[in-house]
Amino acid sequence: MKFNWNGWLQCFQRRKKSHCLHVDINEIDKNRVFEPVYRSIDFLCDLQYESNEREEVRPNTNREPRSTPDWGLDSINGEHLWVPTAASGDFCYANDCAKHGPRLKCAACRVMAHACCTSNLNFDCKASFRDVGVRQYREQTSTHHHWVHRRSEKGKCANCSKSFQSKLSFSSKEIVAVSCSWCKLAYHNKEACFNVEKIGENCELGAHKTIIVPPSWIVKLPRKGSFKSSLRKSPRDKKSGSASGNSGASSRKKSRDREKDDKDHGNLWVVKPIPSPNIRPVIVFINPKSGGNQGAKLLQKFQWLLNPRQVFDLTQGGPKMALELFQKVPNLRVLACGGDGTVGWVLSILDQIGVSPPPAVGVLPLGTGNDLARALGWGGGYTDEPIGKILSNIGDSDTTLLDRWQVTVEKNPNVNTENDSGKGKENLPLNVVNNYFSLGVDAHIALEFHEAREARPEKFNSRLRNKMFYGQMGGKDLVRRKWKDLSGFVTLECDGQDLTSKLREHRVHAIVFLNIPSYGGGTHPWAATSGWKEPSTEDGLLEVVGLTTYQLPLLQAGGHGTCIAQCSHAKLVTTRTIPMQVDGEACRVLPSIIEIKLLNKATMLTKRRRSNKSQHNIDIKLESLKLPVMKIRMADYELYHSDKDKLKKIAECWKAEPFELDATLDLESLRNILAKELVTVKNFCFLDSCTAERFFRIDRAQEQLHYVTDVASEAVYILEENTVPQNVETTVKKVVVEPETAQTSPRSES
């Protein structure tokens, strides 16, 4: 029996449902491969077909191509991330395209199209989030395959383990393979290898499934004000609705609120993780400008291997929005791709947000010095190592602690600074030390390098040239010996002990406070001699080293400086303007009183080594939650259901001590716990207090789908539903009516 293709296509056009697989109706071999597969109409309606006979209207076809995900109100699920490409060997994915010109490639699914064809491409990228209501986001937690037809494919078929046939003709448009852009599995485009059963299978997300953020976790919330309550209009709403004279003011207020929401994109999104000790999701921050053109290329590779919405371009608003969005994800890990300044930026935002417990931060070195990356075992620079291997190392890495030091600067009141001529500053460029703090000749060289690069940036585009500049400036200072009398302008106090005499004894030209062993691009100034403790990044001690202009060039050859002290608190008093630097950021500082003390400890990722078994792993299991249970009465909920802050204030605490709950606990299990602990109230429902701008109830039939972390952040809120007391008769009361009253009663007349 011959398959009725025209009837099938008409049925498909009536359904107009587009999901996963990209198929061109003109490219199907009707008699060989797909005829027995495409007989299932349910399967057919999950495919996306392009035909000259079909014209589908897609929303926002005039949108400018984007290279990073849109986090605004107009974000579209399945939008491609287009980047320019000069690669050859693949054709435009637009139907029957015979055009020429610049081409674009999607970084997330790697389909290709001409720049003029992107708006006509009827094939969606892989879905990176869920665009559903606040009540439906847990109805589907699995991820479907995103099958894409490939005209060329590397590797072997996942079914038959044979290589994909390479076509000699560049004009051939035959589809060779079908691959999933999530798990990267690829199959031959024939029934023996790829059949209908594989379409219905859930995707396991491939080799990096333990670090990928599934699209079901990221939920786009409805626009504020469009939330539909399950309650009827409250008395407050009825009262305000009766005042028709205020309709104009109300309309203007709604307009202002909408404009405010358009600007505040952070409230549009929420991450609803499924807690599991085996999943350690990673969010990636990358500076495309770091490492020449390396950053931009790595951004595209991460978007291909991970969910594009867990990869963030630091030039588009910094890391704050992403860290706030993912701050409640258990076992979260952060990968900072860039120099030491990028890592410090991420750590400072974590301090600002106050994430508890803070996520562990790993480093992919793309900067110049990369001393922190060296100290943590990630190397001194990225050398084209496969990104998949780096992600595997991040997922399997150990954790350690990094001391972070607060630097406070106060103006020295005993020194007149009127003759400074405006060269000095009153504060340092950074007030937190992650790597090292120094003053003297080394900071002078770093400052001259910074000023020269600002003046002629085109001359500082390679690491080799930068190191040559440092060597040249170091040679000049060796001859000039400008800071040979540094100890005459500085007094040093470590843990209450005055060590200025030691500085003068060794005639140091620079003083360095080391928090990590690596300094100045991989040198080790601290000499591991007897009498000192073994340096560590988490011992709460700084290593104080003195350097001369003779010792500075010898550091590159394995030399060391002069060990001054190990201390937990340091104080410096300067009497003239001196160059200083914090983690490579240099400036001239006016005569000041400088104190260094421990701020906190950051959790960092270290590269695991097989021979190193002494490393400790901090986040082995999920931490338990300690949350109070707060009760809201139905009468209050009906009256103030749109005012979350008001309901939080009037909520009653059920128990003085908070409950200690497992992070993987669902609401159905929590109900059983509360039923045993709190026997006074039986009829209640849970309230979601952290997803939308107001509380909303969780259907009891869906409690097994929701976790405690989905609905609670500061406390678990429950709604006490109205019940009829058992000691009150529900029958209609008998009323004795006098004969005269009965005759005059209006009801008796009817």
Whole-number pLDDT of residue 122: 84
Structure tokens, 671: 């109900």
Residues 470 and 545 reside in one and the same domain: yes
Whole-model pTM? 0.80
Q: Assess if residue 51 is contained within a domain.
A: yes
φ, ψ dihedrals at 600, nearest 5° = -165, -175
Residues 542 and 680 reside in one and the same domain: no
Q: What is the mean pLDDT of residues 479-489?
A: 75
Whole-number pLDDT of residue 459: 63
Residues 641 and 580 reside in one and the same domain: no
Q: Assess if residue 72 is contained within a domain.
A: no
Residues 419 and 499 reside in one and the same domain: yes
Q: Which of 393-407, 566-580, 655-669, 720-734 has the lowest mean pLDDT?
A: 720-734
Residues 594 and 665 reside in one and the same domain: no
Q: Assess if residue 158 is contained within a domain.
A: yes
Q: What is the pLDDT of residues 94-112, one digit of tens each?
A: 876 767 778 899 999 999 8
Q: Assess if residue 110 is contained within a domain.
A: no
| Among 511, 493, 342, residue whose Cα is nearest residue 438 | 511
Q: Assess if residue 325 is contained within a domain.
A: no
**Of 606, 641, 658, the domain-final residue:** 606
Residues 634 and 568 reside in one and the same domain: no
What is the domain-level CATH number for residue 439?
2.60.200.40
Q: How confident is the model at residue 121 (pLDDT cuts 50, 70, 90)?
A: confident
Q: What is the mean pLDDT of residues 286-300?
A: 84
Over the chain, what is the mean pLDDT? 78
Contact 281, 213 (CB under 8 A): yes
Contact 409, 426 (CB under 8 A): yes
Residues 528 and 561 reside in one and the same domain: yes
Contact 211, 394 (CB under 8 A): yes
| Count of CB atoms situated within 10 Å of the CB of 622 | 16
Q: How confident is the model at residue 572 (pLDDT cuts 50, 70, 90)?
A: very high
Q: What is the pLDDT of residues 127-175, one digit of tens each?
A: 999 888 777 777 778 899 999 988 888 889 999 999 987 655 455 678 8
| Residue 468: partners with Cβ closer than 8 Å, 6 or more residues away | none
**Of 579, 606, 633, the domain-final residue:** 606
Q: How far is the first Cα of the chain from the last one, in angstroms, to the nearest whole number?
A: 74
Residues 667 and 571 reside in one and the same domain: no
Domains in the chain, number? 3
Contact 436, 512 (CB under 8 A): yes
β-sheet bridge partners, residue 113: 104
Residues 467 and 554 reside in one and the same domain: yes
DSSP string, 643-664: -HHHHHHHPEES-SSPEEE-TT
What is the domain-level CATH number for residue 690?
3.10.20
Residues 523 and 430 reside in one and the same domain: yes
Q: Assess if residue 260 is contained within a domain.
A: no
Residues 550 and 415 reside in one and the same domain: yes
Q: What is the mean pLDDT of residues 257-262?
A: 48
Q: What is the pLDDT of residues 514-523, one digit of tens each?
A: 999 999 888 8
- Whether 666 shows a pLDDT value over 80: the answer reads yes
Residues 557 and 670 reside in one and the same domain: no
Q: What is the pLDDT of residues 224-233, one digit of tens each?
A: 555 555 554 4
CA–CA distance, 494 with 595 (Å, rounded to integer): 10
Q: Assess if residue 568 is contained within a domain.
A: yes
Structure tokens, 89: 């060997």
Q: Assess if residue 253 is contained within a domain.
A: no
Residue 484: domain span: 405-606
| Among 378, 332, 263, residue whose Cα is nearest residue 603 | 332
Contact 155, 179 (CB under 8 A): no
- Whether 243 shows a pLDDT value over 50: the answer reads no
